[in-house]
Amino acid sequence: MRRRSLIRGAVATALAPAGMLAATGAEAATGPAPTSAPDLQGLDVSNSQLGIDYARAASEGREFVVVKAGGCQLAEGPYTSSSYAGHVDGARAAGLRVGHYWLSGDFLTPTAAADHFVDHLHDYRVGDVLALDVEVLDDSTRLWNDGDVSTWFNRVRERVGSYVPWFYISTGALRTGTWTRTVAAGAHLWAASWGANDGTWPGAPDLGGHYPDWAAHQYTSAGSAGGTSPVDLDLARSWAFDLTEPTDPPDPGEDPLPKTSTE
């Protein structure tokens, strides 16, 4: 995602109601992914996409949106994104599947971060994606590790019950770590891998054997949707929206991840 939080300073919170920004002519979204029928096309948004027209995005073939709810990467403390509620309401009105994501950071423990996230969810409904964005941005200095990430997911599950968990991380960062506890927590991988980042799908992300499979793929930050650009575009498998339960962690010394070929 790699966009600095805009909560420092005044940020407009109003979003255009669904359909208000529709153009008179049909304009194709940049870079539709060449996918098979079971794959779903979507986008993720934050304060950087205030004017998006979700009805138009739906007409362009977008089926889901994951919205930034807040984060804990700023020294000022945890926050709720000013555009969060408006994005969720606009996406719901257009009939899109909805997700909510939290940005990791140095300024809350994983358990406290999960509690803040759940306490401030807007219009959460069973079947919505609840996602953790694991990056080092703004005032933070450390990437959350497997223990941090799994603690966050397990705490969210304690609070809300069965849900749809997505773990967002760049494939480069993914390949530097081991994620056995996160896999055991049931988190679906939302892999970020942009290739040439020209708005087109670069092919399946290379996980390097560090996760069993990817459920969603953020494949560009240079897309266009709903009359707005740039927008992060995503591809998701149909099973990415399945409710999950944690699994038993692997025995010590056991290799829990099947090796996958690199592409």
Contact (CB, 8 A) for 53 and 47: no
pLDDT tens-digit series, residues 172-216: 999 999 999 999 999 999 999 999 999 999 999 999 999 999 999
- In order of 14, 58, 63, 206, the CA distances from 42 in angstroms are 22, 9, 5, 20
- pLDDT band for 249, please (50, 70, 90 cuts): low
- pLDDT more than 70, % of the chain: 80
The whole-number pLDDT of residue 70 equals 98
How far is 27 from 29, CA to CA, in rounded Å? 6
pLDDT tens-digit series, residues 26-65: 333 334 444 444 599 999 999 999 989 999 999 999 999 9
Q: What is the average pLDDT across 64-76?
A: 98
Phi, psi values for residue 113, rounded to 5°? -65, -45
For 87-96, 161-170, 188-197, 252-261, which range has the lowest pLDDT when averaged over its residues?
252-261
**Closest alpha carbon to 181 in 205, 216, 155, 159:** 155
- pLDDT band for 245, please (50, 70, 90 cuts): confident
Which tokens go with 215? Answer: 């459920």
pLDDT tens-digit series, residues 85-98: 999 999 999 999 99
Domains contained in the chain, CATH given: 40-241 (3.20.20.80)
Q: What is the average pLDDT across 244-249?
A: 73
Which tokens go with 71? Answer: 């984060």
For 106-115, 144-153, 237-246, which range has the lowest pLDDT when averaged over its residues?
237-246
Contact (CB, 8 A) for 220 and 31: yes
How far is 75 from 78, CA to CA, in rounded Å? 8
Which tokens go with 108? Answer: 């809350």
The whole-number pLDDT of residue 38 equals 56
Residue 1 has pLDDT above 90, yes or no: no
| Whole-prediction pTM | 0.83
Phi, psi values for residue 117, rounded to 5°? -60, -50
Which tokens go with 95? Answer: 């009939």
The whole-number pLDDT of residue 222 equals 97
Residue 258 has pLDDT above 70, yes or no: no
Contact (CB, 8 A) for 157 and 165: yes
The whole-number pLDDT of residue 246 equals 79
Checking 245-252 for CB contacts under 8 A at 24+ apart, the result is 245/162, 245/186, 246/154, 246/157, 246/184, 246/185, 246/186, 247/183, 247/184, 247/186, 248/184, 249/180, 249/181, 249/184, 250/180, 250/184
How far is 124 from 213, CA to CA, in rounded Å? 26
The whole-number pLDDT of residue 209 equals 97
